């Protein structure tokens, strides 16, 4: 592909072909802008991608990715690129205790009628054997407290708040440490209360569908191939194996010049859709600007948390469940990939086990981690004991997700970048269907997720209404 070198046409360059970059690029292309999406690697998807694992000879995701009904922007992106039907949705969850006792969770009906949120999940929660009566009372107390707004500037940790609201051991370990700590991928003492409150509200209180879980029925890279087709079909392009090393702004031509090791690219607008480490590497090679040092200081305060996944192939089916929440052990989630992705051929079964927010599991050697996973799995599914393990893979993603510790909002970069505001499109013709976009004010109570990865330059950006 050519890139937009020497083009006089106004263009947008999106740097980073992960979910953030693909989503921004496709939204901009749909709005009629000419976009070049630039990706350092030879494929799209970033941390949400799949590949043929050389050790097992199978295409696997770098980890199971799930979305929820409340992830409306991600669902909108899937609809935009035409892959929404490749997501399998379920509202049923099964919690399993070691020994095999099961507690089904999910929405309930009253006769023919769906119970409205937040009551929809209550009947099954009340009858769940995984929780004692005291656990249920504690959870009800915490949920009702979280229905009231939490100050957006609270610096309390979720752990401190839970202790203040007298959560039982069962509620702490079987709900908060598992469900919420997995959603935000950190230990409860490392999660800022407003973020936990937002998860609870979004997942359980807004609508019954909001808590439904979506999983791709195809490998992630196949899912995101839709983004490349979408862009190229609209006169935009994707440049692979292109690592942006520096960017210069020319006031006269109102153009960015982006430098890679072998070429230069021109662009009227620039969107950095990078993780904070990659942004930090680029910062010294961006033009000087008031506010750049403050941005660097903000970025340095962010940290990633790990997620590990163990992929096991057995010679037979070990469970008929599609997925399950595993209690009281290192393993957190079981995804039965043979059932979720029925196109996978073979007589045995393939299950993926996910360990969120566990720095200790991430420190284990491969064989120890796999052995631990198999022995724990057998506690939940007795068929594992008589099944033959045919092959296994361990994937550790040390920088899986950004942490949201108490006080992190003070280090949340603004969506208005420190770099120059170009005269276009602020004074140029406005592309059809676009409105001027300004950085949102932080709401007083329910903050949005931090946009640490997304910097927008020039200072005014255009988004579809
Ligand atoms: C194991 C694991 C499990 C997860 N599970 C879930 C889940 O269940 N649900 C969920 O919502 N999220 C999940 N996540 C988080 C999710 O994957 C990330 O939040 C998301 O993929 C981040 O997308 P991104 O575009 O911000 O960053 P990235 O995916 O990191 O993309 C950034 C891209 O920029 C490229 N790049 C970097 N520097 C340059 C440069 N200088 N020039 C050009 N390109 C560059 C990189 O190669 C990369 O492709 C999980 C993550 C992991 C790792």
Per-residue model confidence as pLDDT tens digits over 280-316: 999 999 999 988 999 999 999 999 999 999 999 999 9
Q: Which residues line ligand 1 (CB under 6 A)?
A: 15-21, 38-41, 46-48, 62-63, 65-67, 243-244, 273-275, 278, 282, 307, 397, 400-401, 453
299, containing H or E segment: helix 292-300
Q: What's the pLDDT tens digit per position in 60-90?
A: 999 999 999 999 999 999 999 999 999 999 9
Q: What's the chain's Rg over C-alpha atoms?
A: 23
pLDDT band at 157 (very low <50, low <70, confident <90, very high): very high
Ligand 1 atom at minimum distance from 395 CA: 1
Residue 181 CA to ligand 1 centre (angstroms): 19
Residue 57 CA to ligand 1 centre (angstroms): 24
What mean pLDDT is predicted for residues 39-47? 96
Helix pair 72-80, 220-232: axis angle to 10 deg:
60
Ligand 1 atom at minimum distance from 22 CA: 25
Ligand 1: residue whose CA is nearest its atom 19: 401
What mean pLDDT is predicted for residues 40-45? 96
Q: Which of 13, 65, 361 to mutate to test the pocket of ligand 1 (most atoms within 8 A of CB)?
A: 65
Is 351 within 8 Å of 336 (Cβ atoms)?
A: yes
Sequence-ordered list of residues with C-beta below 8 angstroms from that of 2, at least 6 positions apart, any chain:
237
Per-residue pLDDT, 421? 61
Residue 54 CA to ligand 1 centre (angstroms): 22
Sequence-ordered list of residues with C-beta below 8 angstroms from that of 261, at least 6 positions apart, any chain:
243, 245
The three-class DSSP label of residue 43 is coil
Per-residue pLDDT, 254? 87
Rounded to whole angstroms, the Cα distance separating 364 from 43 reads 29
pTM above 0.85, yes or no: yes
Q: Which of 26, 37, 47 to mutate to test the pocket of ligand 1 (most atoms within 8 A of CB)?
A: 47
The Cβ of residue 275 has, within 10 Å, a number of other Cβ atoms equal to 20
Ligand 1: residue whose CA is nearest its atom 33: 16
Tokens of 103: 């507690």
Tokens of 408: 């992190």
Ligand 1 atom at minimum distance from 19 CA: 25
Q: What's the pLDDT tens digit per position in 411-461?
A: 998 877 888 664 344 444 444 434 433 333 333 333 333 332 233 332 222
Residue 64 CA to ligand 1 centre (angstroms): 13
Residue 21 CA to ligand 1 centre (angstroms): 9
Ligand 1: residue whose CA is nearest its atom 50: 400
DSSP string, 142-205: HHHHHTSPPPTT---BHHHHHHHTT--HHHIIIIIIIIIHHHTTS-GGGSBHHHHHHHHIIIII
């Amino acid at each position: 592909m050519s890139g937009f070198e020497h083009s006089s046409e106004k263009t947008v360059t999106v740097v980073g072909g992960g979910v953030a970059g693909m989503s921004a690029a496709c939204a901009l292309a749909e709005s009629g802008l000419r976009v070049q999406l630039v990706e350092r690697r030879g494929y799209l998807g970033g941390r949400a991608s799949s590949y043929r694992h050389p050790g097992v000879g199978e295409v696997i995701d770098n980890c199971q990715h799930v979305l929820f009904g409340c992830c409306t922007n991600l669902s909108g992106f899937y609809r935009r690129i035409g892959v929404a039907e490749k997501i399998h949705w379920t509202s049923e969850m099964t919690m399993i205790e070691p020994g095999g006792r099961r507690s089904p969770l999910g929405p309930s009906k009253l006769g023919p009628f769906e119970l409205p949120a937040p009551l929809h999940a209550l009947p099954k929660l009340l009858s769940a054997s995984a929780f004692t009566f005291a656990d249920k009372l504690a959870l009800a107390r915490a949920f009702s407290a979280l229905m009231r707004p939490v100050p957006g500037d609270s610096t309390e940790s979720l752990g401190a708040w839970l202790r203040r609201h007298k959560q039982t051991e069962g509620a702490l370990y079987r709900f908060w440490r598992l469900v919420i700590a997995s959603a935000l991928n950190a230990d409860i003492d490392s999660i800022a209360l407003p973020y936990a409150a937002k998860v609870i509200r979004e997942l359980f209180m807004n609508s019954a569908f909001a808590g439904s879980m979506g999983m791709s029925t195809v490998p992630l890279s196949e899912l995101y191939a839709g983004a490349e087709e979408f862009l190229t079909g609209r006169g935009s392009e994707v440049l692979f194996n292109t690592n942006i090393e520096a960017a210069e702004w020319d006031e006269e031509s109102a153009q960015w010049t982006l430098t890679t090791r072998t070429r230069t690219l021109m662009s009227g607008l620039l969107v950095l859709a990078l993780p904070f480490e990659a942004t930090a590497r680029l910062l010294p090679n961006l033009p000087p600007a008031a506010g750049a040092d403050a941005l660097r200081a903000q970025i340095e305060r962010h940290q990633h948390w790990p997620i590990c996944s163990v992929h096991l192939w057995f010679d037979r089916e070990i469970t008929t469940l599609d997925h399950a929440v595993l209690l009281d052990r290192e393993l957190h989630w079981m995804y039965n990939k043979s059932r979720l992705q029925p196109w996978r051929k073979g007589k045995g079964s393939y299950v993926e086990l996910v360990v969120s927010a566990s720095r200790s599991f991430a420190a284990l050697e491969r064989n120890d981690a796999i052995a631990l996973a198999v022995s724990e799995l057998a506690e939940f599914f007795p068929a594992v004991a008589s099944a033959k393990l045919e092959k296994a893979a361990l994937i550790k993603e040390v920088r899986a997700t950004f942490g949201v510790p108490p006080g992190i909002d003070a280090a949340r970069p603004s969506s208005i970048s420190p770099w120059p505001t170009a005269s276009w499109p602020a004074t140029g013709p406005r592309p059809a269907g676009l409105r001027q976009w300004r950085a949102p004010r932080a709401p007083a109570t329910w903050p949005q997720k931090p946009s640490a990865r997304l910097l927008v330059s020039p200072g005014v950006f255009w988004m579809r209404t």
